């Protein structure tokens, strides 16, 4: 497992994105972001606001897409909802998109936007570093043969970095399976963008109830000691159990989103 969920502050692949973003742009007066209620994007931006004094945003403006939430998302939302330096506005997706584009393209003083769902466009891509770390770890464990990387995907930011690094003569034979966990429109867009890459495949997971999530999360934790979050990483479990992965390959499971440990799912699951 590649434990991106342990990166500080807050944990997860978006830490790399936002660290690179603020390294590039420095402190901003007001940062506008659009995502779902309780999202990893909002939670990590809040962590940067609280822990990175002198770098980051002085104020955050969150455009939440009106959506049905889960207890887990509600718990994540509570972290930022009443913060004095965070404003939250919720509306249907098209209305929020119009607001987001206005903030992005009109000359609001002191305002900067970050990509929808936390997407950033930076060169070099911060996930090239993550992929290089993974290659080094595989070499340290003397892993040989084909390597399959299994990870949640919404925007494609991380996969871009993987492919850029692989193109620079990465050792070993790497392929990539992204489990699409973003908005339903993201899956066809990802297939259009990466269709020319033979080493890339996508799997669309089915929606889980909280009970189904809990049962899977508890079983995975029993075997690994790692909790999967119910929004993104939990969907890797069914792929691992499905026997759809090549038997002759080493599987790297990317844990890209931290589990919010203020919710207790440790009660017994049904096998």
Phi/psi of residue 110, nearest 5 degrees = 75, 10
- The residues, ordered by sequence, that sit 6+ positions from 187 with a Cβ below 8 Å of its Cβ are 180, 202, 204
Per-residue pLDDT tens, the chain, 271 aa: give them: 999 999 988 889 999 999 989 888 888 899 999 999 999 999 999 998 887 665 678 999 999 999 888 888 898 999 999 999 999 999 999 999 999 999 999 989 999 999 988 888 877 788 999 999 999 999 999 998 899 999 999 889 999 999 998 888 777 799 999 999 987 888 899 999 999 999 999 999 988 888 898 899 999 999 999 999 988 999 999 999 987 898 889 999 999 998 876 555 544 433 3
Look up residue 220 and give its two tokens. Answer: 């995975």
Global pTM reads 0.90
The sheet with strand 28-35 has its strands ordered as 86-91, 57-65, 28-35, 111-113
Q: Give the Cα separation of 163 and 148 in Å (integer).
A: 13
Ordered by where they begin, the domains of the chain are 8-118 (3.40.50.1100), 124-255 (3.40.50.1100)
Tell me the two tokens of residue 250.
């080493």
Paired residues of 34 in beta bridges: 63
């Amino acid at each position: 497992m590649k434990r991106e969920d342990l990166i500080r502050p807050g944990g997860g692949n978006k830490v790399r994105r936002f660290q690179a973003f603020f390294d590039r742009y420095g402190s901003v007066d007001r940062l506008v972001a659009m995502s779902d209620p309780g999202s990893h994007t909002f939670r990590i931006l809040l962590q940067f606001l609280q822990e990175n004094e002198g770098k980051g945003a002085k104020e955050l403006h969150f455009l939440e897409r009106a959506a049905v939430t889960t207890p887990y998302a509600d718990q994540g939302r509570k972290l930022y909802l009443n913060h004095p330096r965070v404003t939250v506005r919720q509306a249907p997706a098209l209305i929020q998109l119009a607001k987001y584009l206005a903030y992005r393209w009109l000359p609001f003083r002191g305002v900067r936007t970050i990509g929808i769902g936390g997407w950033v466009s930076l060169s070099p891509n911060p996930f090239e570093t993550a992929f290089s770390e993974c290659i080094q770890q595989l070499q340290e464990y003397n892993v040989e043969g084909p390597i399959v990387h299994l990870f949640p995907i919404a925007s494609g930011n991380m996969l871009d970095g993987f492919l850029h690094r692989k193109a620079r003569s990465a050792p070993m034979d790497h392929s990539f399976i992204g489990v699409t966990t973003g908005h339903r429109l993201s899956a066809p867009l990802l297939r259009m963008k990466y269709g020319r890459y033979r080493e890339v495949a996508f799997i669309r997971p089915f929606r889980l109830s909280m009970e189904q999530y809990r049962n899977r999360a508890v079983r995975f934790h029993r075997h690994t000691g790692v909790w999967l979050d119910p929004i993104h990483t939990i969907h890797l479990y069914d792929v691992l159990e499905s026997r759809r992965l090549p038997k002759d390959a080493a599987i790297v499971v990317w844990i890209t989103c931290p589990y919010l440990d203020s919710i207790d799912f440790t009660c017994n699951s049904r096998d």
